[in-house]
Amino acid sequence: MGIFNLIFESMSSGEEQAEYERLCAICCQSVDAQEKSAAENFLGELIGTPENIPRVMSLLQNTTSDFCVFVTSELLGKLYTASMYKNLLFVLSEESKRGEIIGNRDVEIIRGLINGLLAFVSQNAERLKGYLLNSLCNTISLLIKAIWSEIETTESFLEAMFLELADKTLAHEFVLWKLQEYLLLNFTTLSASQSAFWLYRRLTYTFSKNGLPTIYAYTWATLKKVLGRVFEEGDREFLEKNEKQFETLVNVFQLALCYNFNLSYLDYDIDVTAFDLGIVCYPESYLKFMRDFDVFSLALKTYLLFLEKAPEISFKIIRGLNRWVSCRITLFETKEERLTFVNLCMEFAIAAMKNVAGINEELLKEVIDINTRMINNFEITKMRRMDTLFATWLQTTTVFSVEIIERTRQMSQNYINDIHELWKRISKQRMFKLPKLTPEIVGLISKCLSEVSASTYAHFLSNPIVLDSNFPKYKKFTKIFKNTFMNLSEIFMFNVEENITILEKGCDELLGSVQYNEGTLDIRLFESRLALTVGVLCQTVMINPSFELNLRDHFSKNPNDLMQQNSMANGQQSTQSVEIVKDYVGRIIAKLFEIVRIVSEQEKIFSPVLELSMLYFLESFVDCTVQGVEVSQDGSNLQCVAKIFQYANQFMGLEGNYYKLVEFILKKVVSNLNIHNRCVMEYSLELFKKILLRMKQHLPRDKFRKLPLTYYISNDLPNFSQTALASKDFFKLRTTFYEILSIIFVDDYFDDYISSLDRLFNNIIVTNNASDSLGLISLFRDSSGIASYLDITKIFKYFVKISYPTYSKLLIEVVSNSFDDVDVMSAALDFMIALSKNKAQRYSFDNNNIYPYKIFKDFSVIVVAYIQDLRQKVSTLSGNEQRLENYLHGRVKMIGKLTMLFKTFMDGKYLNFSVFHFFGDYTFVEYLRANIDINSIFYPILTYYPNRLIQVYENIMRISENVLEIMLVYLDHACLADLILISFNIIKKMDEVGELRDLQDDVLVSKFNVIIHNICCFCFEEMNIKAESDLKLKIDEFMMNYYKILKDIALYVLDICFSKDQRQRLFVLWCNTLFAILSLSDRIFDEVKSEFLQKYSNFSMEALQSISTAFDALYSDVEKKYDALNGDKFFKNFKQFAKVMLSVLCSR
């Protein structure tokens, strides 16, 4: 019995109620941490014990204390909310510790809690306000989310819940709106963990299909009723009295329209900006709402009504209406509906743009987006059909654009890019014969941009840009960096002379702040300003190949710019102006290099964004200059004829020696290896690698080897092990570092590659202690760098000869005893993959080279032993589902590495695996068996990891293409059945949660089709060979024992084709799968037909006869041969069969 029960056992109900309320008050009011903790523990034991739920609900019903209501609600939500990973319940029982996961057995308890809380909320609707109502609605919605996947009929569940509150008082209606609001918010909350994305995708999908339509139908009807009362009956006083409640209803309307229906199963990318401006593929359940244009007209009136006095309501309305504008136009079936939709969208845009005076910046951004969304959705061609309205829209957009450009100077946000992007989209569509007014409008916008661009640009530079430093990879940073400044290059040219002056002034301020830094430098502001300067310079000048051409064009049209006091002719003025701008650019580049130098020398000045911005600048400089590198005639230095280098040369004192800059950049990059930041180190190493490859590409071999840089690295090679690369957190980066060393020392067989490889290999062995796990990991990471880069046969063969005996011994003696160490196995498998790849055909059928065979032999022994160990561990844990899944989740990355290793052996083409067994060597047979086992071992968690799932499909596909004969002859034919079952079960599991219907990419269905086609084609060919063989007997046994699997797949394909909406591409793939199976044997065809007709046995005899005749006609004029011609004929027949089926189904 718990402590709480012992203390309160002898109390009366009144005393217990008072004590409970006292403890709740302590939790909310006490400043004594110890007293507060004790009270929370007491209440946690009571509320967290499922047996006490009736008692807790009784205490809640009888209380008048707000503290009691709040604490009870929060603890119920905390203790009974599902885990985001496994959808298991967190409860507290007598035997378990607080927060222990015990499974799904308490679903009914959760249902009881939901019903109890709903009853309490319904009885106290008038009393509940503010934080109390928010807490209760949040808890109820979280509890619903916890058991969502366990509810069989979610629609009826929600409808019954809504009936508890609907159509009573306004207070009850408000509670219901608030509950719906929290349901939408909680179902769209994504965990920051990528591993949680699949569960999030499943929840959001099932909720969008089974829950959201119910909520939206109610919200739509309620909003229509409320707005009709206001605008049609003239009862505006109703809105004024209930403004807060109405805001909640509007928010539900907006959240339901802004729901993300475009999530992909295969791509973990929920970039809001990218998807938010795209076309929204609303489900068909939304169709009847989208066609109700009256509601949207009323919503627009409401937007204008609240624009001044309640902009937060207007913001939510316009966000919802904006998403409506992005509704896929094909959702409207008739031409009249589509024209009405386009007409309303344009009226909405015009009304919104005409009423922007005094609105806040959030609303302003939404107004701009209306126009971009319209062009994205139905383009100018459809808009032009409303001639008068279209002309009005163009004129309104012009006036609006000019006003926004002028207002940009007074706003914290800069919308110049958005306006410029909008007009770029409009002007690009001249091919659609826009009215003559359009070029004039574009010219007007350009003129406005030109007039205010300098002040706008100055304002842009004066505002800090916030870039997140927590990037998983540096490429994410560079992508965001480029997108941020993408449109500035064109805007920059509108008033280039003033903009370049402002840019240099900003650069001077940065240089001054860092030169005279006495410990007071605001690093956050400094990194922001530097990022802005680098981004603008790189996007507008350095990586813009047409910068000088645009510059000359600009000054030829504006000859007086920069040279107004000069009496030279226009052509001379233009040339001189270009040279002046070049000087500006050269000075800015020189100053940025000086800033990089000073910051690098001051260790206290560090931030990830600052370092990444500097590296971006250095990389951009290298990219635009290295192609112009050449060796001077006397061979003493490097010259560069690239224009950007020429701009900066005179201001940096380089005397034309490009190598001085390269050496500076490389020293900066090497110094970054002491920075314990993965993103910075990774970017530095990749830049290091890029520079070396580019230099080696443009320089003769002897000149490259004589560069002082190579001696610098060669002399300091042992010291690199003392950098941040020595930390276990950065071991993976050691692979890139040793790739760099390979580029320098052993990239050419004219190099002294023998002594260089000896030195590198000895350095790896000496600096890494293979007797401990960390040393073993770093050793394999180092070796992977050399093994993955070398692609010249002669050099690679020597490396394998001197190193493989050592690696083989380590793998067999040490790694074989480290199967439980995931990091060691990961590094070892990466090394195996690197060494096994037949890059540039570095392995060949060479009679004098035994290493390809030896490498496969040794690696396969280790892999087979490792997979057997995994199988044994899985078998041991099979009785505990939770521990088993935790074990598999911890090793899921291994399936990618193991399948990749199999791929490298199969694709390498340097061993003939089909002859191994003729010489009594069954190594490949055992390896193949283990490779098949790995798919079944990780099957329970595969759907959590889309990328791993694709790897498994590719692995099975590779087996079906290359080694079916070996598998059937030397392994049990049940292995083939296992492969088919795994592929099929994954497809079915994904279909259960709806993924197959709305996949953004049909790659999985395509691979499944290839697997089935390969297997059926192979079996068909072998069965039709007249001569008897062991292989034919095996296939006959397989068909006798496992043909039902193929029959089930065929029935499933028929079901999915006629019970679900399919895109054309998927429909073709399913048809190909069906053709492969039905062509295999008459028995399968007859049984599939019989069971398919049995499914529709309740249809009329006439309907069944039509279906039967159409089914028989599938092979009309089709030979049972697996070729493209017969496949196309089958597809045509299947389309006729589909028409018959659909007509029969529609008649029902």
DSSP one-letter string for 135-187: HHHHHHHHHHHHTGGG-S-HHHHHHHHHHTTTTS-HHHHHHHHHHHHHHHHHH
The candidate with the shortest Cα–Cα distance to 931, out of 969, 968, 965, 958, is 958
pLDDT digits (tens, 9 = 90+) for 506-518: 888 888 888 877 6
Residue 447 reports pLDDT greater than 60: no
Count CB atoms within 10 A of the CB of residue 1107. 19
Q: What is the mean pLDDT of the chain?
A: 80
Token code pair at residue 124: 């106290």
| CA distance linking residue 184 with residue 215, whole number of Å | 9
**Residue 702 vs residue 198, higher pLDDT:** 702
The candidate with the shortest Cα–Cα distance to 514, out of 585, 600, 590, 584, is 600
Helix 523-537 and helix 437-462: axis angle, to 10°?
A: 150
Contact 220, 252 (CB under 8 A): no
Half-sphere exposure in the Cβ direction for 81 (13 Å, CA): 15
Mean pLDDT of 687-715: 76
Q: Which helix (H) or strand (E) holds 507?
A: helix 496-515
Residue 444 reports pLDDT greater than 70: no
> Residue 104: pLDDT band by 50, 70, 90 thresholds?
very low
> Residue 103: pLDDT band by 50, 70, 90 thresholds?
very low
**Residue 500 vs residue 574, higher pLDDT:** 500
82 three-state secondary structure? strand
pLDDT digits (tens, 9 = 90+) for 336-376: 888 888 888 888 999 989 888 778 778 888 888 888 888 88
> Residue 430: pLDDT band by 50, 70, 90 thresholds?
very low
Please, where are the H alpha helices in 746-838? Answer: 753-767, 773-789, 793-813, 822-836
Position 1132 scores a pLDDT of 92
Please list the residues that pair with 696 across neighbouring strands.
Answer: none
Query: Which of these ranges, 31-40, 104-113, 660-669, 1129-1138, has the smallest mean pLDDT?
Result: 104-113
What single-letter amino acid sits at 707? L
> Residue 446: pLDDT band by 50, 70, 90 thresholds?
low
Position 1009 scores a pLDDT of 92
Position 1013 scores a pLDDT of 94
pLDDT digits (tens, 9 = 90+) for 163-207: 878 777 888 888 888 998 888 888 876 544 444 555 666 677 778
Position 994 scores a pLDDT of 56
Mean pLDDT of 594-607: 86
As a three-state string, the secondary structure of 239-277 is HHHCHHHHHHHHHHHHHHHCCCCCCCCCCCCCCHHHHHC
Mean pLDDT of 643-657: 86
Position 863 scores a pLDDT of 95
Query: What does the angle CA 472 – CA 607 – CA 585 come to, to the nearest 5 degrees?
Result: 100
Contact 742, 789 (CB under 8 A): yes
The candidate with the shortest Cα–Cα distance to 781, out of 726, 713, 820, 719, is 726
Residue 929 reports pLDDT greater than 80: yes
pLDDT digits (tens, 9 = 90+) for 245-258: 888 888 888 888 88
Position 448 scores a pLDDT of 53
The candidate with the shortest Cα–Cα distance to 55, out of 6, 116, 103, is 116
The dihedral through the CA atoms of 788, 790, 795, 796 has a sign that is: positive
Position 45 scores a pLDDT of 78
- Residue 1036 region by backbone torsions, left for phi larger than 0, else alpha for psi between -120 and 50, else beta: alpha
Most confident of 72-76, 403-407, 732-736, 949-953: 732-736
What percent of the chain is helix, strand and coil (3-state, nearest 5)? 75, 0, 25
pTM: 0.75
Contact 983, 958 (CB under 8 A): no
Query: Which of these ranges, 138-147, 551-560, 680-689, 865-874, has the smallest mean pLDDT?
Result: 551-560
Please, where are the H alpha helices in 878-1000? Answer: 881-890, 893-908, 923-937, 946-962, 964-970, 974-992
Contact 424, 380 (CB under 8 A): no
Position 373 scores a pLDDT of 87
Residue 925 reports pLDDT greater than 80: yes
> Residue 1080: pLDDT band by 50, 70, 90 thresholds?
very high
Position 411 scores a pLDDT of 63
Residue 1011 reports pLDDT greater than 80: yes
Mean pLDDT of 681-710: 81
**Tokens 């069969």 appear where?**
1137
